[in-house]
Chains A and B, each alone.
Chain A
């Protein structure tokens, strides 16, 4: 085939391609086919978009979750800081109260008596009762003895009283019967003491011993009676001689 024939064919085909006359194909059918086919890629885009949206949602959810978690942690942190401060204040208050207590403790004079209901066994109570009973009996016996002794004392007292009374009576009797003699004796009898001799004797006794060779000092006791005079001489005991 010669070159110009091929060129002729090429030109003929190009010319045929450029013709605007209807070549008899159903445009509506092809257009519908195009629409149905072109809708397929849009599905792909849709899925892609959905996937992107899902990813975005997940990221948003993750971000939101992180944000809220951090916010919650922040709140917890604030609350914890508040609690720590409260605890610190409470500790300070307690320390102050403790100091106040320590200061106020000496001033506290009230004694707290606590009644403790301690269960006591019946046997112990019985023992205590018996012990008390015995003590009571012993005390009663002691009281009886004391009463007896009291009675005896009373009796003795009565006897003594009686004796005293009798003696008083006797005294009264003797007084009444011997009153005259006694008055007389009071009037006539005198006691004279040689004081110089007595002092000499007493000083001598303190310095030196009496010896049998030395002349014995004699205390002269002279009883004067108005009616008659009598003189008695007697050696004083241990240096004193009447």
Chain B
């Protein structure tokens, strides 16, 4: 791994191809989750790898786990950059205090594919804020900074994402009960 990192820092072509073969699927999934379609995921993934190849020489990464986390961060940031360009976020006029959190009606264990599919089916803004808040663990202030939106917009987008997910879960549960 150290040799791979050394070669990557030297911009060795074979090392870059090896890295792409090893982590291409992983980063593609992340990009796909954020972008919501294959073409955009392809575009963001390729740009993410370009950034990784160009910037890895400036880092002091020596472990694979650190490399993986750093590459994920690069991919997420590239996805957010692309989404920001599309101006998918709109200011929410709703007051935060007025928002009533809708409780999830079912505690049943949901299938992994179903959950991922639910995430992917969310609108771009909801999906992005939900992914950053729930999956990546960012706070609203950080999300607002990353997406160049206000904190209230981030909270609003999250609330709506949760509402929509609840509806989706209820829908799936109703379908399961009907079967």
Contact = CB atoms under 8 A, between A and B. Distances in A.
Interface of A: 1-2, 4-6, 8-10, 12-27, 29-31, 33-34, 37-38, 41
Nearest to A6: B134
Q: Is the interface of A mostly helix, strand, loop or mixed?
A: helix
Given A1-B166, A17-B26, A30-B46, A25 B115 contact: no
A12 to B, nearest CB: 4
B162 A29 contact: no
A2 B166 CA distance: 10
Contacts of B54: 38, 41
Given A1-B103, A30-B46, A10 B110 contact: no
A12 B33 CA distance: 12
A221 B103 CA distance: 221
A160 B28 CA distance: 176
Interface string B1-38: 00000000000000011001100111011101100001
Contacts of B147: none
B135 interface: yes
A22 B25 contact: yes
B53 interface: yes
B94 interface: no
Interface residues of B, number: 43
B58 interface: no
Nearest to B53: A38
Contacts of A9: 110, 115, 118-119, 134-135, 165
25 contacts: A1-B103, A1-B104, A1-B162, A2-B103, A2-B104, A5-B107, A8-B110, A9-B110, A10-B134, A13-B116, A13-B119, A13-B135, A14-B135, A16-B29, A16-B112, A16-B116, A23-B25, A25-B24, A25-B28, A25-B41, A27-B24, A31-B20, A34-B46, A37-B50, A38-B16
Contacts of A2: 103-104, 107
B109 interface: yes
B110 to A, nearest CB: 7
A17 B30 contact: yes
Contacts of A33: 42-43, 46
Q: Is the interface of B mostly helix, strand, loop or mixed?
A: helix
B135 A5 contact: no
Interface of B: 16-17, 20-21, 24-26, 28-30, 32-33, 38, 41-43, 45-47, 49-50, 53-54, 101-104, 107, 109-110, 112-113, 115-116, 118-119, 131, 134-135, 162, 165-166, 169
A20 to B, nearest CB: 6
Contacts of B101: 1
Nearest to B106: A5
Contacts of B29: 16-17, 19, 23
Shortest beta-carbon contacts, A-B, top 6:
A33-B46, A12-B115, A12-B112, A1-B104, A37-B50, A1-B162
Nearest to B28: A25
A20 B169 CA distance: 27
